[in-house]
């Protein structure tokens, strides 16, 4: 059982408030006006009955005029103040939401610029689980706290004023009221602590339930579930996880209920004191008008205090999310890197020196003491078995991951010295997975919304053979991709999509080109076109081509063959074939069925 | 609205009943708190009898404590009940998705519909808000009726006055409600698009590209733009809302003034009716004020509820989708496949004009190994989906063993087909369960043999839990991550485990390296011995060990022959495809 997290509450609130200073200082004016109105407003409905009842008790001295005057003033004042209070609260609601959206933007920016290693790290999302929820809704987290900060001061001040007023009548009533309030606070604390102690179990169960939710709601599981008759199994498991989740929640609620009995006790004391004392006072001379007023006052105060407690508990609880969020924003997640700028007007030489690497939180070294060099202008084919780490190589060369031991040098400069963005700018990479986003075609190629070089876009589209296709779009380069944003958006076929990302790589014109399995989903002819494009793409730049399909090695200068042990063979196609080693084996096996009209050679 | 209620009722009747009881009790509380003080005040003004005072005072105190106790009980039950209902709704959704006709799952309209349906429930808490809205409405209605009864006992005049002002309220409200409805409808798509862009920050797939191509700025800029657009829209709305709500407030104050005025008059004069005591004054004024407030709340609740209901429209639409047609086919599939025939089959996807398959006819003999070859988008995978009864041909028929496949009983037919699709999925079950699709597999020698055949023995042996290892970290962080190739091998093992007479493989080795792929090819004949097999692949080499190759171009069968015969036709697509790939493997004579 963990104890409730202690966190710098005041600092967090402070920072939230400072944010308002920066983003929208006018909010203070509104806040001020609202608070004054909200404080004044309750007094009208407390005073009115007292004044009227006093009038009634005058007996023969009753003046209709006075009564009407009282009611009229009530009407006018209450209307004006009430209107102001309501209007400002509503109008400021959006201004507060704007603050949250602004934070959301900051969060987004951080997520897309942070070091890549966090993207693939499940524990990252667990660590920042609360931080990433802080900006998700109107009612909780950052915005929830802001809304409460806006309304609670008025409640607080009114409560104080009412308390003083009541205190002057009877301290005991006030004390019993405070006792009740404190008891409720304590109960809340206890419940929160209990809930917190179950956090791990809760979040684990939530995740499991979530998994089944995702699996059942994800259409792409549909074929398997039907073809392998897994429907009942999956639904049953989903149900089980839900039950467990509900059971955990039941425990928490039960705890809350049990603790609630204390609250009932203090409520009883409070109410007994209230009525007992007031009745006694009336019997001993207090006017009925005052009796009514104080009853109303206590009722109001009790409501106010309950609201106040709820609000403060809420603020305290939700600010933890805000604090985690701020921590997230402040943590250096490796966005910047070193200081060196990108190499200009030259292609790259890559050298691995005694490099060892394993993925964070795993035991398996992908590479151990890897040493090799890719000279400038070389076309290198990297081939190897599954799990040999070919894709990992790409991530290391491009700086998406840092090596554990040894170093990688680019043109003699250690990779760590480069500024990350500058480092990334040097590579034109084409991955197996095509990522086309819901932006215009031009934006998808240039990867920016501003200063797009239209001529260059057309040029690269022409090179990859997509120009005609683009001309056929009604909006040409401005055509939106995907159907999510624009239902007239374009969905390209597999082959066309690959060509588009190659165009993207061409447009970028990086110092070095890397292609990682770009043709595995393409038919033979589309594949051949990509091979052709490769030469276009590459020109004289250093380039790496990764594939299982050894056919690609034909247009490369050198081949590096990796397996679980590391780099095991390196040389030209001819050299490796002569060696009769692993490469030879792989090449002949893969090529076997293509030989001489394809007679199946039965091997022993 | 009705359908929502009936679904909720079916999902969790006890919760609904609880809500109703709670509404009743909350009303009772309000009414008791209005009535009891009257007696106390009148006694204080009158006899001041200590015993009476004690009784009345205790009654009030006790009633408050008891109501609080009830509130605590209700809170506990209702929170759990609400969670149960929400989960039930998700289960209903899940059930629907499992049972709906497969064609919906590949239709972008329904994908979007599903997204909108779950968005409402998860992000906008539509369900929660509706339930709260409905319960509050019921509570308010009961309260209003009880208060009316009290007020009527004083005078119908007051009631009329109050109703007039309430009418004013509602009139203002309804003219605003239209605007509100339009506004929220217009916001839904913007919210969704905004959700897409924000979601990009969380998806891991695009992250490499985002960094390497420095797309971060472009994306963030889009987020900033949407932020501004959303906020501008909302500001206009909330300003207007503020004015309307301010106006209500004024009307509320008016109602209170009228109540005080009229009831006050009745205290001091008997012109409009018998004089009333000050105790009664308090009671009637409180009743009147509560009445006005509750009626206004009622109006708001109803509007909020309807607004939320609209958010649930996509959910409702999705739930009412028809499920897989109950085919009346009763034949049991035999264990052996003797023939498969496509006769004049044509098919286009729902909502599209282009025929993906046109007038396809061909036969497969039992035990034959067929390879389907063609360019991307030629219709190969579609053919398979038709054979698997995921879609129904628009015209023409598919026969197995001489019977139309729809004449067979669905489950019996499915038992006899084993498929691996290109976009196969593994589940977060154990390795063994993923292969056997069955919970019991402990003593299964079959699985161990298969694991060895597909080349996974070493990997499985290296795992601490062996076959019992959970796959994937999404469910449990102790699960294992498999590489693309290893996953594919498991999918192959799964298809083979089923031991069905017809086995279909769609790009089954795309993620495998040459050696692993070769192993599969080598064993292929043993693995599918005796079975009828259909093989789709872009690697032309695979078509060599098949008996015949079906060549599809633009949705039509262009050729259907053995590899050797097809290679004779030097100007055919097949020849081109094969040689394009083959020439890269030309061995130089050493």
Instruction: For residue B98, give the nearest of A225, A387, A447 by CB distance.
Output: A225
The residue behind tokens 């004690």 is B54
CB B542 within 8 A of CB B521: yes
- Interchain contact, A254 vs B95, CB within 8 Å: no
Cβ neighbors of B585 (< 8 A, separation 6 or more) are A550, A551, A587, A590, A591, A594, A595
The residue behind tokens 């590459």 is A538
Max Cα distance, chain B (Å): 125
Beta bridge partners of B158: none
What angle separates helix B50-99 from helix B13-45, to the nearest 10 degrees? 160
Cβ neighbors of B137 (< 8 A, separation 6 or more) are B298, B301, B302, B305
Chain B nearest C-alpha distance from A48 (Å)? 9
Q: Is A355 helix (H, G, I), strand (E, B) or coil?
A: strand
Task: Give Rg (Cα) of chain B.
Answer: 36
Q: Give strand ranges (E) for A269-374.
A: 350-357, 367-374
Return the number of CB contacts < 8 Å for A and B.
435
Q: What is the pLDDT of residue A128?
A: 86
- Interchain contact, A385 vs B44, CB within 8 Å: no
Q: How many CB atoms lie within 10 A of CB A388?
A: 23
Where b means 16+ CB within 10 Å and e means fewer, A91-110 reads: bbbbbbbbbbbbbbbbbbbb
Testing the interface with B: which of A225, A594, A599, A603 to mutate, by most B Cβ within 10 A?
A594
C-alpha A262 chain-centroid distance: 40
CB A567 within 8 A of CB A561: yes
Six-digit token string for B429: 């079950």
Q: What is the pLDDT of residue A5?
A: 64
- Interchain contact, A87 vs B243, CB within 8 Å: yes
CB B97 within 8 A of CB B105: yes
Characterize the bridge pairing of strands A566-571 and A558-563: antiparallel
Pick the residue from chain A with its C-alpha nearest to B62.
A268
Q: How many CB atoms lie within 10 A of CB B128?
A: 15
Question: Residue B224 class from Cβ within 10 Å (0-12 exposed, 13-18 middle, 19+ buried)?
Answer: middle
Pick the residue from chain B with its C-alpha nearest to A400.
B208
Contacts B247 to A, Cβ<8 Å:
83
Contacts A74 to B, Cβ<8 Å:
253, 256-257, 260
Count helices and strands in chain A by DSSP H and E runs: 20, 10
Total-model pTM? 0.80
Characterize the bridge pairing of strands A379-384 and A542-546: parallel
pLDDT in tens, B150-209: 988 888 888 888 888 888 888 888 888 888 888 888 887 888 888 889 888 888 889 999
Chain A nearest C-alpha distance from B503 (Å)? 12
3-state SS record for B23-54: HHHHHHHHHHHHHHHHHHHHHHHCCCCHHHHH
CB B453 within 8 A of CB B527: yes
CB A277 within 8 A of CB A170: yes
Output the CA angle A518-A520-A525, nearest 5 degrees.
90
pLDDT in tens, B46-79: 888 889 899 999 999 999 999 999 999 998 999 8
Average pLDDT on A188-215 reads 84
Q: What is the pLDDT of residue A1?
A: 28
Q: Is B76 helix (H, G, I), strand (E, B) or coil?
A: helix
- Interchain contact, A578 vs B590, CB within 8 Å: yes
pLDDT tier at A413, thresholds 50, 70, 90: very high
CA distance A194 to A201: 12
Q: Is B363 helix (H, G, I), strand (E, B) or coil?
A: strand
CB B197 within 8 A of CB A428: no
CA distance B536 to B421: 10
pLDDT tier at A602, thresholds 50, 70, 90: very low
Average pLDDT on A159-179 reads 90
CB B191 within 8 A of CB B159: no
Sign of CA dihedral A141, A146, A147, A152: positive
Q: Average per-residue pLDDT in chain A?
A: 87
pLDDT in tens, A348-404: 999 999 999 988 877 888 888 899 899 999 999 998 876 667 888 899 999 999 898
Beta bridge partners of A562: A384, A567
pLDDT in tens, A454-467: 999 999 998 888 88
Task: Give Rg (Cα) of chain A.
Answer: 36
Chain B nearest C-alpha distance from A46 (Å)? 12
The residue behind tokens 């705890």 is A255
Q: Is A315 helix (H, G, I), strand (E, B) or coil?
A: helix
Q: What is the pLDDT of residue A601?
A: 30
Testing the interface with A: which of B48, B56, B172, B212 to mutate, by most A Cβ within 10 A?
B212
- Nearest residue to A374 (alpha-carbon basis) of A393, A360, A401: A393
Six-digit token string for A270: 């409070």
CA distance A131 to B208: 23
Instruction: Give the pLDDT of chain B (590 residues) as one tens digit per residue.
Output: 677 778 878 888 888 888 889 989 989 998 898 899 889 888 888 888 889 899 999 999 999 999 999 999 998 999 899 889 889 888 988 998 988 888 888 877 888 888 888 877 776 677 778 887 888 888 999 999 999 899 888 888 888 888 888 888 888 888 888 888 888 888 878 888 888 898 888 888 899 999 999 999 999 999 999 999 999 999 999 999 999 989 988 988 998 898 898 888 888 887 778 888 888 888 998 898 888 888 878 877 887 787 778 778 888 888 888 877 666 678 888 888 889 999 999 998 877 788 889 999 999 999 899 999 887 767 888 899 999 888 889 999 999 999 999 888 888 888 889 888 877 888 888 888 888 887 666 667 888 888 888 888 888 888 888 888 888 777 777 778 787 778 888 888 888 888 889 999 888 877 777 777 777 777 777 777 888 999 888 777 777 778 899 988 888 888 898 888 888 888 888 888 888 877 777 654 33
Output the CA angle B123-A22-B242, nearest 5 degrees.
55
| CA distances for A122 relative to A128, B53, B212, angstroms | 10, 67, 22
Give the helix ranges, DSSP H, for A114-230.
116-119, 122-127, 141-169, 171-197, 199-217, 222-227
C-alpha B72 chain-centroid distance: 33
Contacts B245 to A, Cβ<8 Å:
86-87, 90
Where b means 16+ CB within 10 Å and e means fewer, B284-317 reads: bbbbbbbbbebbbbbbbbbbbbebbbbbbbbbee
CA distance A457 to B192: 30
CB A180 within 8 A of CB A267: yes
Rounded to two decimals, the ipTM of the complex is 0.83
- Nearest residue to B167 (alpha-carbon basis) of B256, B296, B300: B296
- pLDDT exceeds 90 at position A431: no
Pick the residue from chain A with its C-alpha nearest to B268.
A56
Chain A nearest C-alpha distance from B76 (Å)? 6
pLDDT in tens, A65-93: 888 899 999 999 999 999 999 999 999 99
- pLDDT exceeds 60 at position A476: yes
Six-digit token string for B32: 């008791």
CB B535 within 8 A of CB B422: no
CB B452 within 8 A of CB B520: no
3-state SS record for B126-142: HHHHHHHHHHHHHHHHH
Sheet of A427-430: strand order equals A427-430, A512-516, A542-546, A379-384, A558-563, A566-571
Q: Running DSSP on this structure, what letter comes out for residue B399?
A: E
Give the helix ranges, DSSP H, for A331-408.
390-397
Cβ neighbors of A287 (< 8 A, separation 6 or more) are A53, A54, A57
Chain A nearest C-alpha distance from B61 (Å)? 6
CB B549 within 8 A of CB B488: no
Instruction: For residue A398, give the nearest of B105, B108, B212 by CB distance.
Output: B212
Six-digit token string for A526: 């589309």
CB A165 within 8 A of CB A290: no
Average pLDDT on A222-240 reads 87
Characterize the bridge pairing of strands B502-506 and B532-536: parallel
Q: What is the pLDDT of residue A356?
A: 92
Testing the interface with A: which of B100, B213, B391 to mutate, by most A Cβ within 10 A?
B213
Max Cα distance, chain A (Å): 125
CB A149 within 8 A of CB A13: yes
Testing the interface with B: which of A95, A138, A216, A228 to mutate, by most B Cβ within 10 A?
A228
- pLDDT exceeds 60 at position A3: no
Cβ neighbors of B295 (< 8 A, separation 6 or more) are B140, B144, B166, B169
Sheet of A405-410: strand order equals A367-374, A350-357, A405-410, A413-414
Q: Running DSSP on this structure, what letter comes out for residue A139?
A: S
């Amino acid at each position: 059982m963990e104890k409730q997290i202690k966190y710098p509450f005041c600092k967090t609130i402070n920072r939230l408030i400072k944010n308002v200073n920066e983003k929208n200082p006018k909010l203070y004016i509104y806040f001020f006006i609202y608070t004054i109105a909200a404080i004044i407003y309750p007094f009208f409905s407390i005073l009115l009955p007292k004044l009227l009842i006093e009038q009634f008790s005058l007996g023969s001295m009753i003046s209709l005029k006075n009564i009407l005057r009282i009611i009229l003033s009530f009407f006018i004042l209450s209307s004006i103040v009430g209107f102001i209070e309501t209007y400002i609260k509503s109008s400021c609601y959006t201004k507060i939401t704007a603050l949250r959206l602004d934070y959301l933007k900051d969060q987004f920016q951080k997520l897309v610029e942070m070091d890549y290693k966090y993207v693939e790290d499940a524990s990252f999302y667990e660590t920042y689980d609360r931080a990433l929820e802080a900006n998700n809704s109107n009612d909780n987290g950052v915005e929830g706290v802001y809304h409460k900060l806006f309304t609670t001061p008025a409640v607080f001040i009114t409560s104080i004023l009412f308390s003083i007023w009541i205190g002057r009548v009877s301290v005991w009533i006030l004390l019993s009221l405070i006792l009740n309030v404190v008891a409720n606070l304590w109960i809340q604390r206890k419940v929160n602590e209990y809930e917190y102690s179950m956090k791990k179990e809760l979040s684990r169960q939530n995740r499991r339930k979530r998994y089944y939710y995702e699996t059942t709601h994800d259409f792409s599981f549909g074929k398997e579930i039907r073809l392998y008759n897994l429907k009942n199994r999956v639904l049953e498991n989903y149900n089980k996880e839900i039950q467990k989740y509900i059971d955990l929640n039941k425990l928490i609620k039960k705890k809350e209920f049990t603790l609630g009995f204390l609250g009932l006790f203090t409520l009883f004391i409070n109410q007994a004191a209230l009525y007992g004392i007031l009745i006694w006072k009336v019997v001993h001379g207090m006017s009925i008008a005052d009796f009514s007023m104080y009853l109303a006052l206590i009722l109001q105060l009790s409501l106010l205090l309950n609201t106040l407690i709820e609000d403060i508990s809420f603020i305290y609880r939700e600010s933890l999310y805000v604090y985690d969020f701020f921590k997230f924003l402040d943590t250096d997640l490796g966005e910047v890197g070193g200081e060196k700028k990108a190499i200009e007007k030259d292609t790259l030489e890559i050298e691995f020196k005694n490099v060892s690497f394993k993925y964070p939180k795993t035991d398996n070294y992908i590479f151990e003491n890897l040493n090799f060099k890719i000279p400038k202008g070389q076309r290198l084919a990297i081939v190897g078995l599954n799990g040999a780490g070919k894709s990992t190589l790409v991530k290391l060369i491009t700086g998406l991951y840092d090596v554990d031991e040894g170093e990688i040098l680019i043109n003699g400069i250690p990779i760590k010295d480069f500024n990350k963005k500058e480092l990334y700018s040097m590579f034109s990479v084409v991955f197996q997975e095509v990522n086309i986003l819901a932006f215009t075609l031009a934006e998808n190629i240039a990867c920016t919304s501003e200063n797009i070089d239209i001529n260059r876009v057309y040029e690269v589209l022409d090179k990859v053979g997509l120009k005609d296709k683009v001309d056929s779009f009604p909006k040409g380069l401005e055509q939106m991709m995907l159907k999510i944003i624009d239902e007239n958006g374009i969905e390209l076929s597999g082959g066309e999509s690959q060509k588009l990302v190659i165009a993207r790589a061409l447009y970028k014109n990086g110092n070095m080109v890397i292609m990682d399995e770009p043709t595995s989903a393409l038919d033979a002819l589309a594949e051949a076109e990509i091979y052709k494009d490769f030469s276009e793409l590459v020109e004289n730049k250093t380039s790496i081509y990764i594939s299982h399909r050894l056919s690609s090695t034909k247009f490369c200068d050198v081949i590096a063959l990796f397996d679980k042990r590391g780099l095991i063979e390196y040389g030209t196609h001819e050299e490796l074939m002569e060696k009769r080693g692993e490469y030879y084996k792989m090449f002949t096996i893969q090529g076997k069925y293509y030989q001489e009209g394809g007679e199946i050679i039965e091997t022993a | 609205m009705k359908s929502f209620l009936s679904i909720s009722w079916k999902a969790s009747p006890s919760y609904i009943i609880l809500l109703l009881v709670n509404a009743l009790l909350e009303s009772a509380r309000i009414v008791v708190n209005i009535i009891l003080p009257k007696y106390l005040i009148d006694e204080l003004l009158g006899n001041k009898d200590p015993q009476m005072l004690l009784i009345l005072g205790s009654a009030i105190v006790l009633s408050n404590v008891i109501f609080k106790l009830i509130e605590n009980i209700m809170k506990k039950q209702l929170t759990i009940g609400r969670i149960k209902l929400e989960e039930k709704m998700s289960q209903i959704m899940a059930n629907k998705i499992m049972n709906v006709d497969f064609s919906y799952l590949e239709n972008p309209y329904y994908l979007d519909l599903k997204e909108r349906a779950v968005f409402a429930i998860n992000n906008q808490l539509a369900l929660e808000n509706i339930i709260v809205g409905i319960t509050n409405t019921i509570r308010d209605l009961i309260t209003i009726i009880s208060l009316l009864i009290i007020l009527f006992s004083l005078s119908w005049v007051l009631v009329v006055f109050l109703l007039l002002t309430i009418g004013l309220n509602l009139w203002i409200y309804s003219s605003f409600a239209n605007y509100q409805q339009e506004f929220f409808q217009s916001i839904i798509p913007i919210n969704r698009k905004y959700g897409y862009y924000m979601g990009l920050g969380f998806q891991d797939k695009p992250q490499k590209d985002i960094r390497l191509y420095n797309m971060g700025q472009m994306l963030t800029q889009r987020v900033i733009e949407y932020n501004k657009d959303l906020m501008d829209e909302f500001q206009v709305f909330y300003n207007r809302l503020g004015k309307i709500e301010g106006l209500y407030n004024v009307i509320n104050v008016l109602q209170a003034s009228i109540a005080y005025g009229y009831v006050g008059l009745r205290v001091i004069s008997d012109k409009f009716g018998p004089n009333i005591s000050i105790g009664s004054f308090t009671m009637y004024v409180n009743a009147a004020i509560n009445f006005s407030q509750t009626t206004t709340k009622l109006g708001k609740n109803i509007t909020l509820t309807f607004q939320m209901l609209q958010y649930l429209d996509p959910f409702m639409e999705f739930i009412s989708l028809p499920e897989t047609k109950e085919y009346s086919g009763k034949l049991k599939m035999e264990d052996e496949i003797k023939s498969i025939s496509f006769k004049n089959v044509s098919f286009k996807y729902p909502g599209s004009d282009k025929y993906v398959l046109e007038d396809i006819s061909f036969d497969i003999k039992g035990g034959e190994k067929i390879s389907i070859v063609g360019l991307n988008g030629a219709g190969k995978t579609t053919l398979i989906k038709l054979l698997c009864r995921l879609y129904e041909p628009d015209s023409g028929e598919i026969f197995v063993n001489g019977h139309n496949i729809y004449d067979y009983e669905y489950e019996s037919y499915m038992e006899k087909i084993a498929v691996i699709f290109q976009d196969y999925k593994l589940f977060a079950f154990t390795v063994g369960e993923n292969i056997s699709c069955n919970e019991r597999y402990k003593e299964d020698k079959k699985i161990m043999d298969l694991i060895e055949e597909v080349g996974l023995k070493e990997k499985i042996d290296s795992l601490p839990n062996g076959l019992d290892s959970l796959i994937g970290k999404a469910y449990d962080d102790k699960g294992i991550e498999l590489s693309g190739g290893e996953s594919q091998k498991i999918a192959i093992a799964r298809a083979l485990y089923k031991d069905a007479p017809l086995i279909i493989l769609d790009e089954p080795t795309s993620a495998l390296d040459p050696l692993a792929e070769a192993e599969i090819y080598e064993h292929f004949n043993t693995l599918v011995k005796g079975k009828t097999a259909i093989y789709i692949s872009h690697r032309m080499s695979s078509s060599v060990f098949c008996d015949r190759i079906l060549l599809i171009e633009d949705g039509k069968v262009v050729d259907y022959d053995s590899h050797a015969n097809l290679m004779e036709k030097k100007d055919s697509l097949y020849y081109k495809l094969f040689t394009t790939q083959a020439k890269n493997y030309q061995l130089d004579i050493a």
